[in-house]
Amino acid sequence: MIKTLKGKISLLYICLVVMIAIIGSASVLNLYRLSKAIDGLMVDNYKSINAISYMLEAFERQDSAALIYINVDAEKGIELFNQNSNEFLKWYIAASNNITEPGEKELFEDVNKDYVDYSMLFSKLQEIRNKEGADQAAYFYDTAMMPEFVDIKSKLRELTRLNEIGMFNAKNDATRSTHDSMYILFALSAFAVSGGLILSIHFTNRFMKPLDNLTKIVKTVKVGNWNQQIKIVSKDEIGDLSIEFNKMTKRLHQYEQSALGKLMSEKNKSLAIVKSIPDPLIVLDTAYRIMLLNDTCEMFFGIKEEKVLKKHFLEVIRNEEIFKIMSNAFEDEVEMNDRIIKIEQNEEFYFNVIVTMIKDLESKVSGIIILLKDVTQLKQLEKARTDFVSTISHEFKTPLTSIMMGTSMIIDGSMGVLNEEQQDILGTIKEDGERLTRLVNDLLELSRIEAGSSVFNIEPCSIDAIIDDSVKQFAIQAAHKNVSIHVRVEEMMPKVIVDYEKITWVFNNLISNALKYTNSGDEILINASIRNEKMYILVKDTGVGIPEEFQEKIFDKYVQVKGQDLEARGTGLGLAVVKEIINTHGGEIWCESELDTGSTFTFTLPLNISEVQSEKNFSY
Say yes or no: 94 and 21 in one domain: yes
9 or 491, greater pLDDT: 491
Taking residues 93-106, report their average pLDDT: 86
Say yes or no: 248 and 310 in one domain: no
Q: In whole angstroms, give the CA distance from residue 501 to residue 3.
A: 47
**Per-residue pLDDT tens over the stretch 208-240:** 676 777 787 777 776 666 677 777 777 777 777
Taking residues 22-43, report their average pLDDT: 65
> What was the pLDDT predicted at 396?
67
Sign of torsion, CA 222 223 227 229?
negative
Helix and strand numbers, DSSP H then E, in the chain: 19, 12
Task: Determine how β-strand 589-594 pairs with β-strand 598-606.
Answer: antiparallel
How many separate domains does the chain show? 5
**Spatial contact of 584 and 456, defined as CB atoms under 8 Å apart:** yes
**Per-residue pLDDT tens over the stretch 265-289:** 565 666 667 767 888 888 888 888 9
Which residues touch 222 (CB under 8 Å, ≥6 apart)?
Answer: none
Say yes or no: 66 and 176 in one domain: yes
Say yes or no: 177 and 68 in one domain: yes
Q: Judging by beta carbons within 10 Å of its beta carbon (0-12, 13-18, 19+), is residue 409 exposed, middle or buried?
A: exposed
Least-confidence region, from 84-88, 138-142, 191-195, 481-485: 191-195
Q: How many Cα atoms are found within 13 Å in the side-chain-facing hemisphere of 143? A: 8
Domain boundary among 276, 298, 313: 276
Residue 610 has pLDDT above 70, yes or no: no
Give how far Cα 287 sits from Cα of 284, 292, 347, 358, Å.
Answer: 8, 14, 31, 13
Residue 453 — very low, low, confident or very high, per pLDDT cuts 50/70/90? very low
Q: In whole angstroms, give the CA distance from residue 603 to residue 599.
A: 13
CATH code at position 368: 3.30.450.20
Residue 526 — very low, low, confident or very high, per pLDDT cuts 50/70/90? very high
> What was the pLDDT predicted at 36?
60
Q: Choose among 559, 554, 563, 566: nearest CA to 601.
A: 554
Domain boundary among 184, 204, 223: 223
Mean pLDDT of the chain: 80
Cα first-last separation, the chain: 73
Residue 19 — very low, low, confident or very high, per pLDDT cuts 50/70/90? confident
Which residues touch 479 (CB under 8 Å, ≥6 apart)?
Answer: none
Say yes or no: 165 and 192 in one domain: yes
Least-confidence region, from 19-33, 241-255, 388-402, 579-593: 388-402
Question: CA 2 from chain center: how many Å?
Answer: 35
Say yes or no: 342 and 204 in one domain: no
Taking residues 434-458, report their average pLDDT: 65
Task: Look up residue 409 and give its amino acid.
Answer: M
177 or 307, greater pLDDT: 307
**Spatial contact of 226 and 253, defined as CB atoms under 8 Å apart:** yes
Sign of torsion, CA 438 444 447 453?
negative
> What was the pLDDT predicted at 600?
94
566 or 601, greater pLDDT: 601
Domain boundary among 451, 469, 484: 451
> What was the pLDDT predicted at 617?
47
Taking residues 541-556, report their average pLDDT: 84
Say yes or no: 295 and 246 in one domain: no
**Per-residue pLDDT tens over the stretch 386-414:** 566 556 665 666 677 777 777 877 877 77
Taking each helix axis from N to C end, the angle separating 104-132 and 146-222, rounded to the nearest 10 degrees, works out to 160
267 or 141, greater pLDDT: 141
> What was the pLDDT predicted at 27?
72
Residue 536 has pLDDT above 80, yes or no: yes
> What was the pLDDT predicted at 490?
81
Which residues touch 456 (CB under 8 Å, ≥6 apart)?
Answer: 499, 502, 584, 585
Residue 468 — very low, low, confident or very high, per pLDDT cuts 50/70/90? very high
376 or 527, greater pLDDT: 527
Q: In whole angstroms, give the CA distance from residue 135 to residue 256.
A: 137
Question: What percent of the chain lies above the pLDDT cut of 70?
Answer: 80
Residue 38 has pLDDT above 60, yes or no: no
CATH code at position 521: 3.30.565.10
Helix (H, G, I), strand (E, B) or coil at 541: strand
Q: Cα-atom radius of gyration of the chain, to the nearest Å?
A: 40
Q: In whole angstroms, give the CA distance from residue 577 to residue 443.
A: 9
**Per-residue pLDDT tens over the stretch 356-370:** 888 877 778 888 888
Taking residues 69-75, report their average pLDDT: 88
> What was the pLDDT predicted at 178?
76
Which residues touch 366 (CB under 8 Å, ≥6 apart)?
Answer: 285, 286, 358, 359, 360
> What was the pLDDT predicted at 150?
92
Q: In whole angstroms, give the CA distance from residue 196 to residue 503.
A: 35
Say yes or no: 160 and 128 in one domain: yes
28 or 543, greater pLDDT: 543
The DSSP symbol for 596 reads: T
Strand partners, 496: 461, 607
User: Hey, how many other C-beta atoms are within 10 angstroms of the C-beta on 314?
Assistant: 12
> What was the pLDDT predicted at 165?
87
558 or 69, greater pLDDT: 69
Q: Long-range contacts of range 431-434, CB-CB < 8 Å, 24 or more positions apart?
A: 433/400, 433/403, 433/404, 433/407, 434/404
> What was the pLDDT predicted at 619?
42
**Per-residue pLDDT tens over the stretch 283-322:** 888 888 998 888 888 888 888 888 888 889 888 888 888 8
Taking residues 184-199, report their average pLDDT: 80
Residue 340 — very low, low, confident or very high, per pLDDT cuts 50/70/90? confident
> What was the pLDDT predicted at 604?
94
Q: In whole angstroms, give the CA distance from residue 162 to residue 149.
A: 20
Taking each helix axis from N to C end, the angle separating 463-473 and 500-516, rounded to the nearest 10 degrees, works out to 40
261 or 103, greater pLDDT: 103
Range of the domain at 265: 229-276
> What was the pLDDT predicted at 362?
76
Q: How many Cα atoms are found within 13 Å in the side-chain-facing hemisphere of 537? A: 25
Say yes or no: 312 and 435 in one domain: no
> What was the pLDDT predicted at 101?
85
Taking each helix axis from N to C end, the angle separating 74-96 and 104-132, rounded to the nearest 10 degrees, works out to 170
> What was the pLDDT predicted at 104?
84
Taking residues 550-571, report their average pLDDT: 64
Say yes or no: 473 and 381 in one domain: no
Residue 333 has pLDDT above 90, yes or no: no
Question: Between the ranges 3-12, 74-83, 187-196, 373-382, where is the mean pLDDT highest?
Answer: 74-83
Q: How many Cα atoms are found within 13 Å in the side-chain-facing hemisphere of 510? A: 32
Taking residues 332-337, report their average pLDDT: 73
> What was the pLDDT predicted at 511?
93
Q: Judging by beta carbons within 10 Å of its beta carbon (0-12, 13-18, 19+), is residue 219 exposed, middle or buried?
A: exposed
Least-confidence region, from 39-43, 107-111, 276-280, 460-464: 39-43
Say yes or no: 240 and 123 in one domain: no
Say yes or no: 548 and 601 in one domain: yes
Task: Look up residue 180 and give its amino acid.
Answer: D
Residue 30 has pLDDT above 80, yes or no: no
